[in-house]
Structure 1
């Protein structure tokens, strides 16, 4: 029989419950960090009252505060709302009909910033080394920033001229092209990367993060060459989930700063970022007459309507209409 006076472990704190539930749902570490931050801010905003004691007026007050006082973007405000919906439904197990009626901020629909071919050539000409290679891959493949940063060795098919984008937006895989003009530099980079990998093996730190419990299913995979990040960090860091010290992928902020420096060096007035190279990739393919369905697949868009925005950038519409002034 269990002892009556046996000590009982304390109930996990609310934010720890949030983290546990997020990991059960296989959300990314970035989503975990953001959701925990928003839930903490929500609780502090209402004087550390428990969310069970709060309702629609408190949620609306918090979101209004973010928009009016914090002056946050619509996407940021919607992310905060998503975090609160997750808290109530997934962690507290409370179905609140009013939560569905909370008005989401309307995201403004802007045309994407696109560089001309000459502008792309000028920006890429100002970038060297690993950042230059990354920027060329962004423009040459149409990948998103984190998709290229998280590339692993096994995802590049030199013989077939393909790159497999794993677990892209919406947890979808897709295939895009590997430009011929980057193959030689990418091979040279991988030779250097192999040397770093061998040094990590000698140091006992060659293990790499694998998603969705793959490390348990394939115990040797984390230390295999094929699973290594192509673009690694320059130092080791502690994994916030496992507590293991290992080499993670390159910090994307370093590439963002490198692109910004190149844009400033060229003297462009456009607010170009790494994502601008993806927009330019799609627009330039469309200019060359590539069909929009193929571009949709290369970009990984769920709906072709999302890809159609590039026809507006060209100012030609879906039918390539010519202005009567130019006839």
Structure 2
């Protein structure tokens, strides 16, 4: 099997499992890098020792983050197990990249409002959902029209991290804006249909079972891109959602207009959502479910942010 055929098989296996396009690109990139690291040696001619050597090199020589090393590991494990049918088993002598123990950056309610005051349009609405609903950036961008449930005051997060569905709170302050946004999406969708477009990406199983849904309004992205583009997989011209860079730049620009010197990203608003809920007396299990955390230990980090001063100690200079 030549390298090009190998990569084709990797793509086929990834798409058969309905992984995201971002995951597909990341896995292919790591597999190519792994093969190049070993002078273009075919993976079937290598064993666990070569895999460990590459992963240790990433940690020790390239000083990559633990999440980066883990992504490379997942890509290579996928290659051997799902594509080559040669599971690698447990790894000996694997040196894990160290995971820095950092507390999340959190904005106060006043700081969050100051940032929002410097935003308008769809970027303000998206940021309101990051802060008001605790959404991850990718979850917000992937929202469909049908995911907004005004009757039950909730937002459906479909296929979130860990391929799980969940619901979270729908902020009252965002309701009218969301209704207006949906009206704009409907007008845009109607124009696309009139021009012979209007198809949307659907989960693979759903697209096969209900092919007519590809042009349905409910499945349209809540925050559609300004441009239509050809899907790299299906090669169908359609309207995708706004890009992550679009939201990132808007947040960065809004923060620059304030006197906030904290390092603020889209994830900062999710951290602030969780911290402020705990501050308001909501129990940690409720917050865990709203965030979609698998383990409550992940949510526990926000309890540390709430501690006043160093471990709740009053400074002697204040006596």
Could you tell me the TM-score, scaled by structure 1's length?
0.91
Instruction: Give, in angstroms, the shift of residue 127 of structure 1.
Output: 1.0
> What is the Cα-based RMSD across aligned positions, in Å?
2.2
- Name the SS of the counterpart of 1:246 in structure 2: strand
* Aligned equivalent of 2:53, options 36, 40, 61: 61
- Name the SS of the counterpart of 2:167 in structure 1: strand
Worse-superposed segment, 64-73 or 216-225: 64-73
Measured against aligned partners, the alpha-carbon deviations of 1:288-321 in whole angstroms (never above 9, x if no partner) come to 111111111111111111111110010169xxx9
Distance 2:123 2:130 in 1: 10
| Structure 1 position 44 matched with structure 2 position 36 | yes
| Structure 1 position 296 matched with structure 2 position 288 | yes
Alpha-carbon spacing, 1:154–1:98, altered in 2? closer, same or farther (3 Å): closer
* Aligned equivalent of 1:104, options 74, 96, 100: 96
Give the aligned partner of residue 25 of structure 1: 17
Give the aligned partner of residue 106 of structure 2: 114
Instruction: Give, in angstroms, the shift of residue 66 of structure 1.
Output: 2.5
Could you tell me the TM-score, scaled by structure 2's length?
0.93
Contact 2:55 2:94 in 1 (8 A): no
Contact 2:52 2:93 in 1 (8 A): no
Give the aligned partner of residue 280 of structure 1: 272
| Structure 1 position 134 matched with structure 2 position 97 | no
Contact 2:157 2:166 in 1 (8 A): yes
Any residues of structure 2 matched to 1:156-171 within 5 Å, and which?
156-171=148-163
* Aligned equivalent of 2:243, options 251, 272, 281: 251
Contact 2:59 2:95 in 1 (8 A): no
Contact 1:232 1:248 in 2 (8 A): yes
* Structure 2 residues not aligned, in runs of 5+: none
Contact 2:59 2:97 in 1 (8 A): no
Instruction: Give, in angstroms, the shift of residue 188 of structure 1.
Output: 1.2
* Structure 1 residues not aligned, in runs of 5+: 1-9
| Structure 1 position 225 matched with structure 2 position 217 | yes
Give the aligned partner of residue 208 of structure 1: 200
Distance 1:132 1:11 in 2: 46
Worse-superposed segment, 13-22 or 51-60: 51-60
| Structure 1 position 81 matched with structure 2 position 73 | yes
Contact 2:106 2:271 in 1 (8 A): yes
